Structure 1
Amino acid sequence: MTINQLSEQAPFTTKDGSTIRSILDSTNAPVQQQSLAEASLPPGAKTDRHYHKASEEIYFLLEGRGTMEIDGEVRVVGPGDAVLIPAGAWHQIEALEGLRFLCCCAPPYRHEDTFFS
């Protein structure tokens, strides 16, 4: 059984500019098919617009409000919202308030699978 405590995971900045703490991924558990991380952005910050060739993502908003853009469609998101980001879809999230959200990737997140224009 693998149980990881969020507070014990060191934060780092991803290639798109968000700060994340890996909760479960191949760096800290025997995970093979997916990854789970907590991401955060301070008010006014946004990720760099990007896409992933292989990974499908799900964002689940825990705190704050922001705007989510996927392939040109923009929506306001907040606590309790779950956002599906298909593999290959250009996307960006901007924090209207400080944001904290879970990010699940399948296959697992890898810097090498993040592409910019």
Structure 2
Amino acid sequence: MISKANAEHYIWGEVCDGWRLVDRPELSVIHERVPPGAAELRHYHTQSRQFFFVLAGTATLELGGVRETLGPQQGLEVPPGVPHQLLNLSDADIEFLVISQPTTRGDRVLADE
């Protein structure tokens, strides 16, 4: 059984948390927490297809130049090759799952602004 309590934990962007729930070459499932005002760098994946699913809070996901607002129990798929960026423009933490197939390890390319 896996949970945030026993999963591998890491910090990204100096203030954001990630917990690796599934970490296999063919599939990655990560539970992430992003505090208000934090964001990931705009990037894309050459191979990985991702699905972001919000558990708590309100996330903004910029996908190919279009911003979508996702609330709890809402998700959005990101195909390979599409630049994207997750932002927390709200005043509360957001928690979400990001599911990647295959894993994004070694498959992240920073996108031009």
Q: Please state which band the TM-score falls in when normalised by the shorter chain.
A: 0.7 to 0.9
> Which consecutive unaligned segments of at least 5 residues does structure 1 have?
27-31
- Residue 42 of structure 1: aligned partner: 35
**1:18 and 1:47 in contact (8 A); partners too:** no
**2:8 and 2:21 in contact (8 A); partners too:** no
Q: TM-score normalised to the size of structure 2?
A: 0.86
- Residue 100 of structure 1: aligned partner: 95
Cα pair distance change 1:14/1:89, threshold 3 Å: farther
**2:16 and 2:35 in contact (8 A); partners too:** no
**Higher strand share goes to which structure?**
2
- Residue 29 of structure 1: aligned partner: none
Deviation of 1:4 after TM superposition, in Å, equals 2.1
Say which SS state the counterpart of residue 5 (structure 2) adopts: helix
Whole-Å separation in 2 of the counterparts to 1:25 and 1:51:
19
Number of residue pairs matched by the alignment: 108
Letter in 2 for 1:8: N
- Residue 73 of structure 1: aligned partner: 66
Once the two structures are superposed, the pairs formed by residues 10-89 of structure 1 within 5 Å of their partners are 10-14=8-12, 18-26=16-24, 32-89=25-82
Q: TM-score normalised to the size of structure 1?
A: 0.83
> Which consecutive unaligned segments of at least 5 residues does structure 2 have?
none
Letter in 2 for 1:12: Y
Identity across matched positions, percent:
26
Letter in 2 for 1:21: W
Say which SS state the counterpart of residue 113 (structure 1) adopts: coil
Greater than 3 Å deviation, 4+ residue runs: none
Whole-Å separation in 1 of the counterparts to 2:41 and 2:107:
14
